[in-house]
Amino acid sequence: MAVSGFEGFEKRLELHFFGDIDDDDGKNMLGLRLLDFESLEQVLLAVQCTVVSAVGNPFFDAYVLSESSLFVYPTKIIIKTCGTTQLLKSIPPLIHFANNLGLTLQTCSYTRGNFIFPKSQPVPHTSFQEEVIYIEHNIPNNLCYRKASVMPSKLPAHSWHVFTATLLPPLKSPHHATFTVEVCMTELDRLIARKFFSRDSKTGDLAGRDMTELTGIDTINAGAFICDFAFDPCGYSMNGIDGDRYSTIHVTPEDGFSYASFECVGSVYDDPDDIVETLKKAVRVFMPATVSISSTRCSREVWTKMERALQPLGLKCRSFVMDEFPAAGTISYQTFTAARRK
């Protein structure tokens, strides 16, 4: 808990590994999924959070954390945490455990928005410069294609911080066929935000399910299996699983620093209209006054359609920037604000 309020903006780390995971017995095809729960607990202890709920399918395992989410695939891990967690301290133990499984780090990506309460962040998150230095000291030297950048916007409190590193030459990454979209929303509609306060002393899975249905979160991707959790006295997290794809939502509903995030992954071959419609549904759930959208490896068609899609919700595009990163390809960053706020 930050001094002034809870920090909703997440820090996000994605690590890709490679190695021989195709043994005849099939066991090693699980790759990183072979990590036992005790090892994951060690990683999360360094970060300062815990697992509150978990679910898996043939493709990956998804964990709802006390401070956001963790996704474990055979050769990649995505972990995002909010509050005053020390996310980057997960890098050394994750690399260690992966090496023990015969896996080698291939790419590292770190992203985050602007903290609402930056002075409450602990080392190594007191500044983006400090974060970059910490990452570079804790990843192998052969990840030599590196870039750190702060992507600006016309909104002073909204910029996108990105660091990527890879051992492959730029544009040679095997992950180019997937995209990731991160949506950050602030100043949520107050009536909607109140739905994320626990009632009747219910918390955990039951209250989480109520919030999912009450707010329409379950309609964003009707085909996904949702693992949800409500916190006491307020707050909400969910992971959605749909085949080899995940989506995730985290909500901090308190007045004055209300925040919600939505993240999803998909294939660059998906219909851009479907992607845009999913994002529009997510934003409609919360009706925020400010929205920022970062997309990694999305088509240009998605960027342009987002502007038109959010206009009926009273949101106007204020800025758009894009940049190229060795381990991620093209990253775009858009910001939107409500034209009028009742």
Q: Is 93 exposed, middle or buried (0-12, 13-18, 19+ CB in 10 A)?
A: middle
* Adjacent-strand bridge partners of 299: none
The answer on whether 17 is annotated among ligand-binding residues is no
Query: Which residue, among 13, 332, 329, has the nearest Cα to 172 in the 3D structure?
Result: 329
Query: Which residue, among 122, 250, 120, has the nearest Cα to 186 in the 3D structure?
Result: 250
DSSP 8-state assignment for residue 121: P
Contacts of 285 (CB under 8 A, 6+ apart): 192, 215, 216, 217, 220, 260
Q: Do 18 and 106 meet the contact criterion of CB atoms below 8 Å apart?
A: yes
Q: Which H helix or E strand runs over 99?
A: helix 91-100
- The angle subtended at Cα 98 by Cα 83 and Cα 28, nearest 5°, is 125
Q: Do 298 and 179 meet the contact criterion of CB atoms below 8 Å apart?
A: yes
Please give the Cα distance from 342 to 257 (Å, whole number).
Answer: 18
The answer on whether 324 is annotated among ligand-binding residues is no
Please give the Cα distance from 49 to 47 (Å, whole number).
Answer: 6
Please give the Cα distance from 285 to 112 (Å, whole number).
Answer: 22
DSSP 8-state assignment for residue 256: T
Active-site residues: which are they? 68, 82, 237, 250
Q: Which H helix or E strand runs over 45?
A: helix 37-47
The answer on whether 254 is annotated among ligand-binding residues is yes
Please give the Cα distance from 184 to 177 (Å, whole number).
Answer: 24
DSSP states of 54-95 as a string?
A: EEE-SS-EEEEETTEEEEE-SSEEEEEE-TT--GGGGHHHHH
Task: Detail the residues annotated as belonging to a binding site for substrate.
Answer: 6, 67, 231, 254
Question: Residues within the annotated binding site?
Answer: 6, 67, 231, 254
